[in-house]
Structure 1
């Protein structure tokens, strides 16, 4: 039996800002960490063909000189399934009965050689047809498949990997364990750059959790494309706004946080929108505003009102406000601190031209009565066709999140659902795969990648 190795190195590195596979990690190109480890484990394991699939000329030429089978992927936009297919097809004639094919990704430079050896050895000893490296509840890479599964792998399409096949064959799957979560992390941000600390943001794909390093990644926000983000619902709207703002600021964006209803007044970096008179002229006000935003990267803008809150700026100033920032994040609903709500007739107040609407609900509402957890409990009870004393179920959150009379009300563009404050290790069943879960949305820190990992 031989274990053939296919390394996938064809991603576009959008979040990294440059070709991350050529960036230096501990003094050498990121991709070479895995290629060197594969070369070394071949001395102790029955490694067969070694294949690397890439779109990058420099990597192509380098690995060709190293006597690897190198396959050029000229269509990375076709998704990971295309790279898988190209890799398998390049060695199809050399795969024998009883062989296996393993798949690695080249942006996991911290995957240890001893972990790879232990995982592949454990796979062989298990007698299973599929293997997957994990850390606790998280499935990761590498994965390995017996040759009997090649037909199914070749039939994959789009941005879907081998775990779709694995999910259908769990009884035939060996799970190896990495020593730390860091080993499974792919590097989506440049070394030394500031980023947001991993705080357990995930989605459920094919019944299993897929973790994200940032809320922006989970939502699918692309700086430069998505200009206006409106946040509605209950159970964490304000913290969601500021979490997104901090992540985007760390990516170099100038962010304004505001509201179309009411929100708590920020204790720092707040700008009173009707303060032009203090400057003598609007020209002075906007010059100072632009300089401050350039320096701070995040400003909260609004008009002060009672009880420590702010309300939105006049609608005639919306266009001006948008012109001042790279991204505008808007709290567009109110719930007075409750975890669950449905909108009244005048709600939500989605900002004109919004690119993405995020509907937020608090998971702690589940198991509590509508009276306890709900905003405007009588209205919520009528919507759910329950009494106010009845307990809220997970299915109720799904219903509210997916209803055009619930959080999807008045939504015209892209819509995402965020369930906040889900207990660690709990993965609710049911609902669309695009639902985003978070253990604690307010957790974020400005650290470099090295500080987080150390």
Structure 2
């Protein structure tokens, strides 16, 4: 008897965040939020509240960030070529979890996404959608989701555009949510509040 396939949350955390701090001295994902915890901890916690498995993809030089995420129960994958573009980080997470039923792909610098939004996206995938994107006030946002059948296409992506082309597919299901957090990321220090 085979066990049912699990759904996986992939947390992309391998960016350099140069708009936050051009010197690179302050990793934006380690910055504390007024609600408590770091940007990355909150982003991971939102995924963990819904997803049975979460894998974060990080750069090799992010030991403190890796420790924070491991302490939450997140599996961490190190992407040696993360600087070559987001597609490499995404593929690292996909290869680790290639036997999943599908994936919700979240950005670690988006800690304001509600767990209820993640649940709505997961349910749409579980109900047969192939690609899901949240929409708030007519605008698409993140995280996005893909069913297992898109794995071959996801594994051929290149550069920093990620899955943008796939997300324009006619098969994409737009999931209306009441969550401004799908548009809100942390790019500069003022975004932490």
Provide the TM-score with structure 2 as the length reference: 0.85
Higher RCO, Cα 8 Å, sep 6+: 2
Instruction: Give unpaired runs (5+ residues) of structure 1.
Output: 193-448
Q: 2:58, 2:79 within 8 Å by CA — same for their partners in 1? A: yes
Q: Post-superposition shift, 1:70?
A: 0.7
Separation (CA, whole Å) in 2 of partners of 1:136 and 1:123: 22
Q: Post-superposition shift, 1:41?
A: 1.9
Instruction: Kindly indicate which of the two structures has a greater share of residues assigned to strand.
Output: 1
Matched, 1:191 2:193: no
Q: 2:39, 2:111 within 8 Å by CA — same for their partners in 1? A: yes
Segment of structure 1 superposing worse, 81-90 or 173-182: 173-182
Separation (CA, whole Å) in 1 of partners of 2:63 and 2:148: 30
Match for 1:58 among 39, 56, 64?
A: 64
Separation (CA, whole Å) in 2 of partners of 1:182 and 1:90: 28
Separation (CA, whole Å) in 1 of partners of 2:146 and 2:122: 11
Provide the TM-score with structure 1 as the length reference: 0.38
Q: Post-superposition shift, 1:180?
A: 4.1
Separation (CA, whole Å) in 1 of partners of 2:85 and 2:6: 27
Q: Post-superposition shift, 1:182?
A: 4.0
Matched, 1:155 2:164: no
Q: Post-superposition shift, 1:138?
A: 2.3
The aligned counterpart of 2:126 is 124
The aligned counterpart of 2:104 is 102
The aligned counterpart of 1:239 is none
Q: 1:50, 1:69 within 8 Å by CA — same for their partners in 2? A: yes
Matched, 1:74 2:80: yes
What is the SS of the residue equivalent to 1:103?
Answer: strand
Q: Post-superposition shift, 1:183?
A: 3.5
**CA deviation vs aligned residue, 1:224-264 (integer Å, no higher than 9, x gap):** xxxxxxxxxxxxxxxxxxxxxxxxxxxxxxxxxxxxxxxxx
The aligned counterpart of 1:115 is 117
The CA RMSD over aligned residues, in Å, is 1.9
Separation (CA, whole Å) in 1 of partners of 2:119 and 2:86: 25
Separation (CA, whole Å) in 1 of partners of 2:182 and 2:158: 27
Matched, 1:34 2:43: yes
Separation (CA, whole Å) in 2 of partners of 1:122 and 1:101: 12
Q: 2:130, 2:146 within 8 Å by CA — same for their partners in 1? A: yes
Instruction: Give unpaired runs (5+ residues) of structure 2.
Output: none
Q: Post-superposition shift, 1:89?
A: 1.1
Mapping of residues 15-414 of structure 1, within 5 Å:
15-17=19-21, 18-26=26-34, 27-42=36-51, 47=52, 49-55=53-59, 56-92=62-98, 94-95=99-100, 99-125=101-127, 127-167=128-168, 169-170=169-170, 172-191=171-190
Q: Post-superposition shift, 1:62?
A: 2.7
What is the SS of the residue equivalent to 2:87?
Answer: helix
Q: Post-superposition shift, 1:73?
A: 2.1
Separation (CA, whole Å) in 2 of partners of 1:131 and 1:183: 13
Structure label with greater radius of gyration: 1
The aligned counterpart of 1:387 is none
Q: 1:129, 1:145 within 8 Å by CA — same for their partners in 2? A: yes
